[in-house]
Chain A
Amino acid sequence: MTRELMKGNVAMAEAAIRAGVEAYFGYPITPQSELLEWMSKRMPEEGRVFLQAESEVAAINMVYGAACTGARVMTSTSGPGISLMAEGISYIAGTEVPAVIVDVVRGGPGLGNIAPSQGDYRQVAHGAGHGDFFPIVLAPSSVQEAVDLIGEAFDLAEKYRTVVFVVADGSIGQMMEPVSLPEPRPIRRERPEWAVTGTPGRSRRILTSLYLKPEDEEIVNLRLVQRWREVEANEIRYREYYLDDADYVVMGFGTAGRVALSAVRAARAQGMRVGLFRPVSLRPFPAQAVRELAQKAKAFLVVEMNGGQMLDDVQAAAQGQVPIRFYGRMGGMVPFPDEVLDEIQALVDEPPTLDEDPRARWLAHMQRRMS
């Protein structure tokens, strides 16, 4: 298969087209705008729907409408847009219709900046809207992986009738890498049995997230929980690097995981027995795999481009069985491999204790750095 050099945002857009996306609705926001721009050019060429909405609020509700017809549909945005979409995401979850959302994360909170960040982890992985539901959240660490996950995202969304996020921090969206694009899939012509299509010759279909009777709403909620347990049983995704004989385990997703891999390789070259665990599905979180590593490893080092949002999930999964350190850069800062290597070295030289507070040590370190 030929490989071509593509920017992450463009590659994700083209991957969605090849996955048979029928409609795209979006609103410009850096650092994801090239995705929307590519769609504006390519979707009409393919005879499919592209529409630039008046806001992210409108975009997600257009997605919601199109999803109710059983069409493959997506949007893309960055953190401030996810905040505005939270309402629609909850309605989509409550109505149990499939949709794919790409979040190219920027620095925050507030207007923040347009530099790469992982500050949306909590926002997307812990719900992304009111009420009791989880979306599936997938996090690539390269442009190729982003392309691959886009195709999977549509299949998962339809299999589980749920929202699927592909969370790419700004650097995945903006950088160019060689990628192999998948063969185009044909547009599905058949519609699911729940789709609202206005088709004659059958009884009416209604799609709603309104269940006025609490007894009925509880049934829906329990169905969502049950479905989520199926997701947890079948859709955990992670990558392991050099873990077979590792005493020390670095954990990071997306770009932080990729930077950490460079550091792990450098540490290996220096003889340190260290490996990398990189969650790809942030939700469902690979808690069981983390728990098993916690029973074997001498210490964990969690590396993120945020203040330890995944750290909380790692701690919950590890259940106090392993000492954990944390190293994070925030506000759009990306750690260099050398910084992570220093942390790995410190992990080996001065192993942490079980009662060490990962954030206290990290904050003290950052304060020394700033002064």
Chain B
Amino acid sequence: MTVAAPTKPKNLKLIYQRPESLVDSATHYCPGCTHGIAHRLVAEVLDEMGLSDKTIGIAPVGCAVLAYEYFTFDGVEAAHGRAPAMATGIKRVLPDRVVFTYQGDGDLASIGMAEIIHAAARGERITVIFINNAIYGMTGGQMAPTTLPHQVTTSSPRGRDVATQGFPIRMAEILANLDGAAYIVRRSLHDATNIRKAKKAIRLAFEAQVRDLGFSMVELLSTCPTNWGMSPVEAMEWVRDNMVPAYPLGDYKVVPELQKLRV
């Protein structure tokens, strides 16, 4: 049996397709996980900016450890938390390439705290996509530096007790204080409106890099339905109802050159 090639209906415009920078494959991410959305947004932005063939991505340790599998451009895999240092090494010897790290909350805000702070303080011309889902996903749902007070995890089974387990860390607010940072914002991936805003932010973050303005980071509030023990829909609602109040969305540092930019 032969199947006729689909004919393009007249008067219809193609408005949605796989970004060229994204590999045509299934991912290993769980249903309802927002990593797929974040990957797609990065790919769309790089396509739109025409940067895909000069980009090098740096994958973290965490659920996104295989992120390089899903992009069509060059990639490397960093040690846990060290992606900003590795990105620094790459960017310093290849200053005309686009270099970004993709890091989770354990990677960036716990074990990699020194590396992210100093990369930002130096104003490294790199872009950081920071996935904050308040939990360690890959290792099985342990407490993260961004876990909310009273949040139950596999290593805070009675809920995070701030008296002994400390308080969540707000990375966007911290990094925005550093003079080397050009663009530091927090967005969320819990609904379509916020996803569109997140994409604009990712675009500006890469604009900051190619315009040589300094360090840029987009923090993305994200889900982990598997380790939160929720359905995908419940997880999106949990981000809206619990994470957004604890991690206010907004622009924490935008240098003037970017403020006037329309994307």
Contact = CB atoms under 8 A, between A and B. Distances in A.
B94 interface: yes
Interface string B88-108: 111011100110000000000
A185 interface: no
A57 B114 contact: yes
Between A25, A61, A91, A201, the greatest number of chain B beta carbons within 10 A of the residue's beta carbon is seen for A61
B78 A51 contact: no
Contacts of A91: 78-79
A23 interface: yes
Contacts of B77: 95, 206-210
A282 interface: no
B56 A58 contact: no
A210 B88 CA distance: 21
Interface in B106-160: 114-115, 117-118
Contact of A196 (B71, B72, B90, B115): B90
A287 to B, nearest CB: 32
B150 to A, nearest CB: 33
A25 to B, nearest CB: 7
Contact of B89 (A64, A95, A199): A64
Interface residues of A, number: 39
A54 interface: yes
A23 B95 CA distance: 13
A197 B74 contact: yes
B181 interface: no
B112 to A, nearest CB: 10
B227 interface: no
Contacts of B41: none
A101 interface: no
Contact of B114 (A25, A51, A54, A197): A54
Interface of B: 53-56, 58-59, 65-66, 68-69, 71-79, 82, 85-90, 92-94, 97-98, 114-115, 117-118
13 contacts: A23-B93, A58-B82, A64-B85, A65-B78, A65-B85, A66-B93, A68-B89, A196-B75, A197-B94, A198-B94, A199-B54, A204-B74, A204-B75
Interface of A: 22-23, 25, 49, 51, 53-55, 57-59, 61-69, 71, 73, 87-88, 91, 95, 196-201, 204-210
